[in-house]
């Protein structure tokens, strides 16, 4: 089965069961400060999981582009990826466990012809606060799974949420494929990392709300959120042992091997896999409509880390030329028919990769000079400290193998054990940060953030009035304290222009205009003059939030009910975000509706 066939039969299967297909959203989640990237299909659906009505209905299906970097150091093994496609189906207060599990089982066994005996599933074992998920267990048994194929685990493995201290949460049931390897021990099961079991699907049941006192109450709207990794399923179905032997990676691997052979270089299998995986991830991040560039912060930092890691591997293999652009072209050509934004942004993708390669080449030169200083100071037949070796790695991107080679050339050695201790400390800190930043979930949709969301609509409209239609939204990020809005513009916005923008927004606030929402056909929305970030990527039906006289935008919500709720609007900073993109940070002075005072 090809990837296109898998995508097609998956969507068709759920469409035949009343689901409406929705387009893949941006890799950069809008107005969600809890994550840097879209790490799951549920991110674009947050407002609807919280109760807003979706214009396409209560049953949805899609294939969502995702990026996860918490396991970046595991990339190169058989299954871990930073970029992947997640096939997902949702019930927004419609069906629940029985239908969800039944459809998953039906698709796997009847459409993909996976033998029942090769499946293993996990369910929530229960604790003092929430009982065991016996319902899911009973359903799986009714499908023909033996007790020996059903495993129960605690919250670490089979519980989702809440993201904060309170909010929606619930048990999940995960589906694994038995790779046929022998068990590594008597306790070997799906939670084991030996490789016998590979997770292919996860059905999350948003069943409870965690209250402030730590108790759990049943949600009025129970949702189902499922996710199945396209790459892993393709691997399993085609009888492969790793994702790199599938058609998704074969074209770029062939090109990489030809480069290595042409230059008579050597590269390990793991390093080849890392390059093929990272160039795909970098191409998709750069190809996103919001056009993120390599930088030292947030999404740009992750992008820079991916590109520089590839450059280091090439350098370690003795390849000095930049072949990343060649590899990116393979990815663009391969995926252009599925994700048109890659073809549309091809020039930008290649340009940014070339710029980062040129910039890092200068950094490498500085690093070589620093390495020379370190090695001269320690003298012959002595060891470079692990701290110095780690500084070369952390500051200049030198892999330990590269530093060891430099030391050997000068008759020195490196305290590799001490380096690995420093590196382990660094990894531990990174994982803790990733756990917090990439945990994913329902963003804060409080009254404050809803009002700030409305403020971004007014800001977008005001910018277009003051600066012209050249302005288009490139991204936004909202926390309870402030909004951040990125937009395309070729120069710094002047103080006078910013003052005009502020005045227009505050004028709309003072008029106490009702914010209305209507569901309509996409073509009707465009006829109305509504703007949207992702032209061509919306479904047949959309929601349009209107502030008469100021703004009409295709959006999922949520929003304030009236502009007067915003109190007042103040721009606190305007700066460059990347080439051709400006960034505004702003705040609103909220009002206490009951007493009319600012809070």
Judge contact between 232 and 198, C-beta under 8 A.
yes
Quick one: DSSP state of residue 493? P
Phi and psi torsions of 56, nearest 5°: -95, 0
The answer to whether 559 is annotated as binding is yes
Instruction: Give the SS3 label for residue 547.
Output: strand
End-to-end CA distance of the chain: 59
Which two three-digit tokens encode residue 110?
A: 């009847």
Who contacts 448 (Cβ-Cβ below 8 Å, separation ≥6)? Answer: 480, 590
CA–CA dist 97, 414 (Å, integer): 56
> Looking at residue 105, what is its pLDDT?
97
Question: In this structure, how many other beta carbons lie within 10 angstroms of the beta carbon of residue 485?
Answer: 22
Helices within 189-297 (DSSP H only): 230-237, 250-262, 269-287
CA–CA dist 374, 173 (Å, integer): 53
**513 backbone φψ class: left, alpha, beta (φ>0; ψ -120 to 50):** beta
* Rounded (to 5) percent helix, strand, coil in the chain: 45, 20, 35
Judge contact between 520 and 541, C-beta under 8 A.
yes
CA distances from 549 to 461, 498, 505 (A): 10, 20, 11
The answer to whether 490 is annotated as binding is no
> Looking at residue 405, what is its pLDDT?
78
CA–CA dist 477, 452 (Å, integer): 10
> Looking at residue 84, what is its pLDDT?
96
Q: Are strands 581-588 and 483-488 parallel, antiparallel or unpaired?
A: antiparallel
Tokens 């001269």 sit on residue: 376
CA distances from 187 to 152, 159, 315, 316, 534 (A): 12, 21, 43, 40, 48
Question: In this structure, how many other beta carbons lie within 10 angstroms of the beta carbon of residue 384?
Answer: 25
- The segments of the chain whose pLDDT lies below 70 read 31-34, 163-164, 379-381, 427, 429-445, 533-539, 590-599
Beta-bridged to residue 198, according to DSSP, are 177
The answer to whether 426 is annotated as binding is no
CA distances from 23 to 88, 380, 527, 540, 554 (A): 11, 61, 21, 10, 14
Question: In this structure, how many other beta carbons lie within 10 angstroms of the beta carbon of residue 381?
Answer: 8
> 8-18 in b/e burial notation, b at 16+ Cβ within 10 A?
eebbebbeebe
User: What digits encode the pLDDT tens for the residues 152-175?
Assistant: 999 999 998 886 677 789 999 999
In degrees to the nearest 10, what's the CA dihedral of 196, 200, 204, 210? 50
Which two three-digit tokens encode residue 76?
A: 């190169």
> Looking at residue 345, what is its pLDDT?
93
> Looking at residue 31, what is its pLDDT?
62
Judge contact between 578 and 467, C-beta under 8 A.
no
Beta-bridged to residue 123, according to DSSP, are 152
CA–CA dist 118, 461 (Å, integer): 55
Instruction: List the one residue out of 597, 594, 595, 590 whose CA is nearest residue 446.
Output: 590
Beta-bridged to residue 542, according to DSSP, are 520
Beta-bridged to residue 170, according to DSSP, are 160
Which two three-digit tokens encode residue 216?
A: 């759990």
In DSSP notation, 201-225 reads: EEEEEEEEEE-TTS-EEEEEEEEEE
Question: In this structure, how many other beta carbons lie within 10 angstroms of the beta carbon of residue 428?
Answer: 10
Quick one: DSSP state of residue 28? S
**57 backbone φψ class: left, alpha, beta (φ>0; ψ -120 to 50):** left
Question: In this structure, how many other beta carbons lie within 10 angstroms of the beta carbon of residue 153?
Answer: 16
CA–CA dist 67, 27 (Å, integer): 7
Tokens 């069943």 sit on residue: 207
User: What digits encode the pLDDT tens for the residues 454-508?
Assistant: 999 999 999 999 999 888 888 788 888 899 998 989 899 999 999 999 999 999 9
CA–CA dist 194, 178 (Å, integer): 11
């Amino acid at each position: 089965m090809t990837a296109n066939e898998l995508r097609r039969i998956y969507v068709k299967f759920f469409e035949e069961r009343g689901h409406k297909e929705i387009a893949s959203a941006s890799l950069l989640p809008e107005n969600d400060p809890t994550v840097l990237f879209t790490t799951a299909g549920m991110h674009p659906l947050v407002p609807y999981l919280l109760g807003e009505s979706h214009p396409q209905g209560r049953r949805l299906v899609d294939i969502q582009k995702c990026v996860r970097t918490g396991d970046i150091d595991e990339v190169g093994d058989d299954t871990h990826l930073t970029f992947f496609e997640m096939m997902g189906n949702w019930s927004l207060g419609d069906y629940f466990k029985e239908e969800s599990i039944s459809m998953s089982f039906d698709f796997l066994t009847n459409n993909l012809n996976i033998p029942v005996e090769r499946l293993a599933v996990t369910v929530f074992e229960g604790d003092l606060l929430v009982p065991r998920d016996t319902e899911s267990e009973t359903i799986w048994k009714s499908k023909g799974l033996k007790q020996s194929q059903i495993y129960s685990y605690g919250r670490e493995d089979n519980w989702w949420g809440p993201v904060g201290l309170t909010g929606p949460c619930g048990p999940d049931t995960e589906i694994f494929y038995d790779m046929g390897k022998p068990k590594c021990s008597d306790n070997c099961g799906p939670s084991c990392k030996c490789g016998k079991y590979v997770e292919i699907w996860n059905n999350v049941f948003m069943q409870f709300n965690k209250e402030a006192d730590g108790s759990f109450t049943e949600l009025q709207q129970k949702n189902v959120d499922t996710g199945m990794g396209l790459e892993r399923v393709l691997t399993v179905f085609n009888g492969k042992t790793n994702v790199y032997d599938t058609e998704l990676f074969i074209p770029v691997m062939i090109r990489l091997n030809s480069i290595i052979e042409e230059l008579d270089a050597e590269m390990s299998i793991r390093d080849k896999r890392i390059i093929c995986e990272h160039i795909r991830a970098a191409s998709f991040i750069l190809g996103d409509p919001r056009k993120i560039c390599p930088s030292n912060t947030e999404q740009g930092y992750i992008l820079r880390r991916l590109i520089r890691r590839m450059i280091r591997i090439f350098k370690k293999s003795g390849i000095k030329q930049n072949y990343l652009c060649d590899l990116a072209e393979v990815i663009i050509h391969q995926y252009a028919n599925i994700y048109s934004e890659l073809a549309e942004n091809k020039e930008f993708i290649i340009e940014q990769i070339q710029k980062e390669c040129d910039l890092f080449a200068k950094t490498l030169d500085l690093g070589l000079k620093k390495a020379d200083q370190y090695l001269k100071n320690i003298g012959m037949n002595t060891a470079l400290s692990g701290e110095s070796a780690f500084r070369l790695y952390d500051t200049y991107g030198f892999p330990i193998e590269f530093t060891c080679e430099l030391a050997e050339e000068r008759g020195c050695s490196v305290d590799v054990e001490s380096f690995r201790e420093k590196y382990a400390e660094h990894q531990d800190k990174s994982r803790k940060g990733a756990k917090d930043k990439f945990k994913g979930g329902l963003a804060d949709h409080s009254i404050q953030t809803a009002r700030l969301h409305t403020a971004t609509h007014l800001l977008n409209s005001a910018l277009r009035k003051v600066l012209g239609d050249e302005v288009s939204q490139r991204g936004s990020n909202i926390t309870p304290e402030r909004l951040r809005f990125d937009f395309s513009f070729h120069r710094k916005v002047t103080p006078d222009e910013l003052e005009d923008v502020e005045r227009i927004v505050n004028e709309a606030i003072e008029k106490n205009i009702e914010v209305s929402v209507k569901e309509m056909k996409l073509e009707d929305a465009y006829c109305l003059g509504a703007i949207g970030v992702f032209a061509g990527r919306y479904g047949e039906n959309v929601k349009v939030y209107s502030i008469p006289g100021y703004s009409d935008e295709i959006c999922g919500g949520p929003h304030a009910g009236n502009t007067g709720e915003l109190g007042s609007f103040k721009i606190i900073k305007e700066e460059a975000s990347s080439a051709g993109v400006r960034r505004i940070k702003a705040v609103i002075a909220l009002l206490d509706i009951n007493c009319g005072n600012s809070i």
